[in-house]
Amino acid sequence: MKKAEAICDEFTRLVSLMEQLRGENGCPWDKQQTYESLRQYLLEETYEVLELIDEKRYDELKNELGDLLLQVIFQSQIAAEENRFTIVDVLKKINQKLIHRHPNVFGETEILTAEEQIVNWEKMKRKESSDRSAIDGVPRMLPALLRAHRVQAKAAAIGFDWEQVSSVWEKLEEEIGELKNAVEQNDPEGIEEEFGDLMFTMVNLSRFLGVNPEDSLRKSVDKFSARFREVERSARKAHKKMVEMTLAEMDEIWDQIKSHS
């Protein structure tokens, strides 16, 4: 009970502070913000949370989660001022959704695995709207790799998927061949299309391998960036400028760094 009271007290205080910031004698910056102007901060705070999780800086996570929650309160306050909805409505909606879509926990439906839960979740969402597509609910603004992964997962939840990973490997080889043909024909539009198909198939493969393609690529970019900075530092220590070095010289340093990482 004390825990619930503490949560209610702090949440109420946060809502009250936001009301004050947006009030007549509030902060000029906060008062002029709109749904649209806050979009960049909502996205930025989300990525800062992801960065901390990637770097396993869990002690700092509470700070960034607080900043992310603030964006939800901010958007809800603007809506309340326009008589659209309040933060209470937001909380009611998510509570109702959690209960409705987890009949295995809050009802009598038996679901034993996470995979079964995903399938049941999609079925519940489609029941809520007869016109709903199985792949609805995936924002177009998502990074392309993540969007592809989510769309494929939703389609797979209703059985539209490869039966085995060997078929995905075969499809991958097929897409590589089609991309090579487009390159040989010097067809820019074909190259773009086939490259996209190849990437889409790679995402399919990632699902079968249990890898999140967005996370995987982000880690590879981070790894490359760290090693490239090491190459730059090594060049400076040798009193060399990378723009004046040969590729062979840079590759030699790269291989040394790679062997020690």
pLDDT tens string 164-203:
999 999 999 999 999 999 999 999 999 999 999 999 999 9
CATH 3.20.80.10 fits 133-211, yes or no: no
Q: Is the pLDDT of residue 116 over 80?
A: no
Q: What is the pLDDT of residues 136-150, one digit of tens each?
A: 888 888 889 999 999
**CB burial readout 179-210, b (16+ within 10 A) else e:** beebeeeeeeeebeebeebbebbbbbbbbbee
Q: What is the pLDDT of residue 110?
A: 78
Q: Is the pLDDT of residue 58 over 80?
A: yes
Report CA dihedral (12, 17, 20, 22) to the nearest 10 degrees: -110
Between vectors from CA 216 to CA 214 and to CA 221, what angle results, nearest 5°?
A: 95
* Listed range (30-44, 93-107, 228-242) with the worst mean pLDDT: 93-107
DSSP letter, residue 38: T
Q: Would you tell me how many other CB atoms lie within 10 Å of the CB of residue 226? A: 11
Contact 76, 90 (CB under 8 A): yes
Q: Is the pLDDT of residue 92 over 90?
A: yes
Q: What is the pLDDT of residue 3?
A: 86
Fold of 2-100: Helix Hairpins (1.10.287)
CA neighbor of 15 nearest in space, from 107, 102, 79, 95: 79
**Residue 143 structure tokens:** 């990074």
Q: What is the mean pLDDT of residues 11-15?
A: 95
- Residue 245's φ and ψ, nearest 5 degrees, are -85, 155
Q: What is the pLDDT of residue 109?
A: 76
- pTM of the predicted model, to two decimals? 0.65
For the chain, give every domain's residue range.
2-100, 108-132, 133-211, 215-259
